[in-house]
Amino acid sequence: MSSLQFDIAHLLAGSLVLISFMELYQDRLYALLNVYAMHALVLALSVAWQAFVQDAPHLYVTAALALVFKAIVIPVALHRIVVQLGIHREIEKVVGVGPAMLAGMGLVALSMVVMLRVTHDSDPLAREDLAFALSVVLLGLLMMVTRRNAVSQVVGFMSLENGLVLAATGAKGMPLVVEISVAFSVLIAFIVIGIFLFRIRERFDSVDLQAMDRFRGERR
Amino acid sequence: MSFDASDAVLLIPAAAAAALALLPGYRITARLNVLATLATFVAALSMLWARPEPGLYLRVDDLNSTFIVLTTFVGFTTSVFSASYIGHELETGRLTPTFLRFYHAMYQVLMFAMNLALLANNIGVMWVAVELATLTTVLMVGIYRTHEALEAAWKYFILGSVGIALALFGTILVYMAARPVIGEGLAAMVWTNLIAHAAAFDPALLNLAFVFLLLGYGTKVGLAPLHAWLPDAHAEGPTPISAVLSGLLLNIALYVLLRFKMLLAVNPAALAPGPLMVTLGLISLVFAAFMLYRRRDIKRMFAYSSIEHMGIIVFAFGMGGPLANFAGLLHMTMHSLTKSAIFFAVGHVAQVKGTQRIADMGGLTETNPLLGWGLILGVVAIAGMPPLGIFMSEFLVVSSTFVRSPGLAIILVFGILVGLGGLFLRLNTIVFGEPRGPTAEAKASYVPLFAHLALVLMAGLYMPAALVAWFENVAKLLG
């Protein structure tokens, strides 16, 4: 692999980590959805680049899926849900921006240390890709625990899942990547339909998960 | 490709799911559901003799055929229980006919997903199957669409998805470890290839993979501290689903974990997975045992009891060795049978009393003697009293641990005794004393309940030599 190919792959994967950080400090739902759309767009580019570099045409399917479904359909759908539920106010956070960013940096450092040490025998691209992918996964998890709002938790989960797709495409020649990305898209579609159909707002008056906690079976 | 038993246990539920989604009417669909699960069980039994060659996607061996027979059997008995349970739910209007159709179709999809996860010879397919099983159970847990049910489903969904995501990362890492040895492509995800070459894998990568797999699939096993979804999901869904979740789905996740544990066991340089599993198992056991004392909801109480027993099972497999593995397998089988029997009883109790609050129940042995004594028998069994099957398996786990590390055995016994106290304390309120709440006759089918309890009793009194030999063989396979 030429160094240019490597650099571009590296750049795209690195941008994904950066955008994950951007998601962490968004405090408006619309802005968060826009940043997520960008996240998915960069993922689509990254996967398409891997498809080109690895000469694996089936990966273009995954890239197209990321582009159409995750970067366009899902953000638009969530946007409409946010409008319908009237929750475009500020996002409540459990921890502030500062601590969240610090924790995020710690997680990235952790994944670099763990992955680079463990994979020293693998080829450099897969190695760096995996380290970045683990960072994106951990940042997605962090986002899920620092947010109370159901919509932003879903965004956290979706960026976590983008990290997994990045890892799967980075692992050269991995079979079933397309199937797995389809399975994940189905899962996400279910989540979004879940928010929409079950009309969490109607039932709980708020998508705030803290409000749901009242209904724990044993506090009746 | 020729047609064989392993195709049958997948095709029957898939076809039944399609048919049940289309057919109207409670009577026909409930019967068809029972018939389909019975046919799957028969097909699964034939797997004990006929062994198709392992392919790229599916395989049958001693380990998974044991699990499949157990899964399809409990699936069958639960469908019998479900028929009478759901009939009552329709009468009281908690479920509408549309949802009923959906419920039956989902039941079969769940059976399909569980069988696929067990049969899969490919770690990618295994992952997809576990995801499918999670999704269907999420939909079933939320089926009543009350506040509590939706919250439980949402919580289960989010935690289950995170678990599943971590498991996928672990799966990718296993592929990365296998690729330099086996080569690129599908072959490097086939379990039979993996186990054959696991000794040559990079141990560091394999270790990291196992940590992710343990966290990911461990969430689905319900190990503390990853158990938060489990009590809610058990309490708020329809009771047949609680029975299937506790009795079967937790086992499936455990089975997947055991498969990966076998990979690590082959590689001499990789970390020993035992201590990790032992620690998580003991934490779950002791934590759940204490939690039993503060439960006010009958289904949540037995959900915590499931966490407790999964802890014991994971502990036993973590200890490893032929005897502990044998004990773990036996305990898993006994727990599946007993816990689903308890949920059969609990389902009817909750229907008679119109609530799940323990404080609103009482004197069940006077008002509904058959149900009350069935529940007592189930709890006596699950608490590990002789001469029932769980006593046997717990005794084996404890005694095999005492020989190797007495310190761990003391914690184990402590946890079991604490749990026993909690269970009997609550049972006392439910079944004895002044009758409280409605005392209507239960329109129950007692056959599945007492069939399970009879099997558990028989296992405690006398285990056929063939069965013992079979379990010993599987225990050796697990290493």
Residue type, A89: R
* CA distance linking residue B264 with residue B266, whole number of Å: 5
Q: Which chain A residue lies closest to B146 (C-alpha atoms)? A: A203
Distance of residue A216 Cα from the nearest chain B Cα, in angstroms:
6
Chain A CB within 8 Å of residue B469 CB? no
Distances (CA, A) of B78 to A210, B234, B320, B336: 35, 15, 31, 11
Q: Do B169 and A200 touch (CB under 8 A)?
A: no
In a domain, A130, yes or no: yes
Chain A CB within 8 Å of residue B204 CB? yes
Q: Which chain A residue lies closest to B130 (C-alpha atoms)? A: A183
Q: Do B165 and A160 touch (CB under 8 A)?
A: yes
In a domain, A116, yes or no: yes
Distance of residue B444 Cα from the nearest chain A Cα, in angstroms:
25
* Conformation bin of residue A171: beta by default, left when phi > 0, alpha when psi is -120 to 50: beta
Residues of chain B with C-beta less than 8 angstroms from the C-beta of A150: 154
| pLDDT value of residue A202 | 46
Is residue A148 helix, strand or coil? coil
| pLDDT value of residue A201 | 47
* Structural domain containing residue A33: 3-213
Mutate one of B123, B131, B162 to test the A interface: name it (highest A CB count within 10 A). Answer: B162
In a domain, A198, yes or no: yes
Asked if B181 contacts B201 with a C-beta cutoff of 8 angstroms, the reply is: yes
> What's the number of CA atoms in the CB half-sphere (13 Å) around residue B448?
31
In a domain, A218, yes or no: no
> What's the number of CA atoms in the CB half-sphere (13 Å) around residue B477?
17
Chain A CB within 8 Å of residue B394 CB? no
Q: Do A180 and B231 touch (CB under 8 A)?
A: no
In a domain, A220, yes or no: no
b/e B444-465 (16+ beta carbons within 10 angstroms → b): bbbebbbbbbebbbebbeeeee
Q: Do A137 and B236 touch (CB under 8 A)?
A: no
Please give the model's pTM, rounded to 2 decimal places: 0.91
What's the pLDDT tens digit per position in B285-301?
999 999 999 888 999 99
Give contacts of A 97-126 with B, CB under 8 A. 114-115, 117-119, 121-122, 126
More confident residue, A204 or B166: B166
CB atoms within 10 A of CB A100: 21
What's the pLDDT tens digit per position in A109-153?
999 988 888 877 767 777 888 899 999 999 999 988 888 777 888
The mean pLDDT of chain A is 82
For chain A, how many structural domains are there in total? 1
Residue type, B70: L
In a domain, A78, yes or no: yes
**Rounded percentage of chain A residues whose pLDDT exceeds 90:** 30
All residue ranges of chain B with pLDDT < 70 are 1-3
A89 pLDDT tier (thresholds 50, 70, 90): low
What's the pLDDT tens digit per position in B421-463?
999 998 988 888 888 878 777 777 889 999 999 999 999 999 8
| pLDDT value of residue B323 | 93
CB atoms within 10 A of CB A7: 10
What's the pLDDT tens digit per position in B134-181?
989 988 898 887 878 888 888 898 888 889 889 999 999 999 889 888
Chain A CB within 8 Å of residue B142 CB? yes
| pLDDT value of residue A198 | 58
Mutate one of A174, A200, A220 to test the B interface: name it (highest B CB count within 10 A). Answer: A174
